[in-house]
Amino acid sequence: MEDAFRPSTDLDDPPNSRLFLVTSKSITEEIIREQFATFGEIQDVWVVKDKQTKESKGVSFVKFAKSSEACAAMEEMHGKCLVEGTKPIKVFIAQARSSGSHRDVEDEELTRIFVMIPKTFTEDDLKDTFKTYGDIEYCIVVKNKSTGESKGLGYVRYHKPSHAATAIENCDKTYRAILAEPRNKTPAPDNEYFSAPRTDHVMGDQGMNPYPQFADSGNYTRGDLRGTDIITRCLMVSTRASITQEQVYSLFDLVPGLDYCEMQQDSYGFSTGNAMIRYNNLGSAVYAKNKLDGFEYPPGNRLVVAHIDDGEDRRSPLGRMAMQLVAAQMMSIVCNPGAAQLRKTSTGYPSPAVPQMPRVQTDVALPPLQKLAPSDSRVKERLFVVFKPVPLPMDVLEDVFCRFGSLIEVFLVPGRNVGYMKYAERKSADDAMASLHGQTINGIKMKVMLADPPKEESHKRQRTY
């Protein structure tokens, strides 16, 4: 039946999560389990044995849940003696079963990642972004040879496979980090680059504005925003400083009734400096706007807060009543800072210790989360989704649309209020459509329809979508 979609556990999924061990024949599965357990979630240990004699062939496979776990185990355990008196073991990342190759996988192939980055990114930006996952040997931004402008692509070489794997696993998905294909096989591992003296420690955080698109956008003033007189539960927060969604959340959660906060991201996944806030009542929104518009957070950075049209509530008299009620609650908090459980965050700004807010709020009865289908799955069906008034964030969409199974990817059309959901199984798409069409998620209304086939430009091969 063609390539039936397998949620199977066997494959080398994720890639490079399986180890190939060469050990003394006396080493058992139990010994291996015991010694490798500290590196992560072991999914399988298999000691290869002779079919007749049942004796170990001195070869084993250890499957971890994550590549970073397998890599860390390899780095730590290679050359160790698992049992006193036995020969030191060899540990490699196993070749994918499908590859058929038995060549050793070299660190060279496991330490360099390839990423998509904003065209404004310098190599230092790249380094600053990815050094949190491990020691970087070097960074390269791919540039146009003649003009020198960035192509929005970069390479990061780490010293250790586990660092590259951790970066791929944990960096923002919009970087689309993958292992870089090894460059033309030049078997000259001449890595004697100790050239430039370290200039690593960056002085302050002020030196670099990660959002250059805001460098010259400071001349809109608060008076001339159209619609400042509308009253809604939704607010738009604009900031020129790089503050996180968590910080915005903590700040606006000082006003009771916050039920949604999301920093908007551009198509690269970088903060746009705008966050959408929604309260469960008009009064809280009005109060938060009045208190926080123009508030300096962090000191020196004036936030701009304005109501935005959420398509429902408008200048309701109820809003003013609710506002007064909430104002009374606020007074007690403002006058008793101790009651607000202020603490220092990692950034040093005071913020309340608040429980995590559920990311998705809706009346729809959602099935449990399901794993995404592998990104190289065949697309069997696509949904076309229209949002009103603005698109939901990618992570929310993934959270919601994955619950019907086999979701491969969410794609939002840049600059429009529409997007596509790709599924590996038709039934998943159908189920999602049946459950979600016409529904409201986080205050955003959605139409969910089958997508028309993409405009066909030629009679050639089918696009990969």
Partner DNA sequence: CGACGGGACGC
Chain contacts with DNA (rule: CB under 7 A): 10, 20, 22, 44-46, 48, 57-59, 61, 63, 90, 92, 94-95, 97, 99, 102-105, 114-116, 140, 142-143, 145, 151, 153, 155, 176-178, 180-183, 186, 384, 386, 409, 411, 413-414, 416-418, 420, 422, 447, 449, 451-455, 464-465
- φ, ψ of residue 300 in degrees (nearest 5): 100, -20
Q: Residue 258 or 397: which CB sits closer to DNA?
A: 397
In the complex, least distance from residue 354 CB atom to DNA, rounded to whole angstroms: 32
Q: Residue 140 or 366: which CB sits closer to DNA?
A: 140
- 418 three-state secondary structure: strand
The identity of residue 226, as a single letter, is R
- 375 three-state secondary structure: coil
Beta bridge partners of 140: 155
Beta bridge partners of 46: 61
In the complex, least distance from residue 412 CB atom to DNA, rounded to whole angstroms: 7
Q: Residue 207 or 368: which CB sits closer to DNA?
A: 368
Q: Residue 64 or 114: which CB sits closer to DNA?
A: 114
Q: Which helix (H) or strand (E) holds 18?
A: strand 18-22
In the complex, least distance from residue 274 CB atom to DNA, rounded to whole angstroms: 20
β-bridge pairing 90-93 and 18-22? antiparallel
Number of CB atoms found within 10 A of residue 191's CB: 8
In the complex, least distance from residue 278 CB atom to DNA, rounded to whole angstroms: 22
Return the axis-axis angle of helices 29-36 and 67-77, rounded to nearest 10°.
100
Q: Residue 253 or 409: which CB sits closer to DNA?
A: 409
In the complex, least distance from residue 276 CB atom to DNA, rounded to whole angstroms: 20
In the complex, least distance from residue 396 CB atom to DNA, rounded to whole angstroms: 15
Q: Residue 177 or 282: which CB sits closer to DNA?
A: 177
Q: Residue 92 or 130: which CB sits closer to DNA?
A: 92
In the complex, least distance from residue 170 CB atom to DNA, rounded to whole angstroms: 16
Nearest alpha-carbon partner for 390 in 236, 239, 229: 236
What per-residue string of b and e applies to 201-231 under the rule 16 or more CB within 10 Å gives b? eeeeeeeeebbeebeeeeeeeeeeeeeeeeb
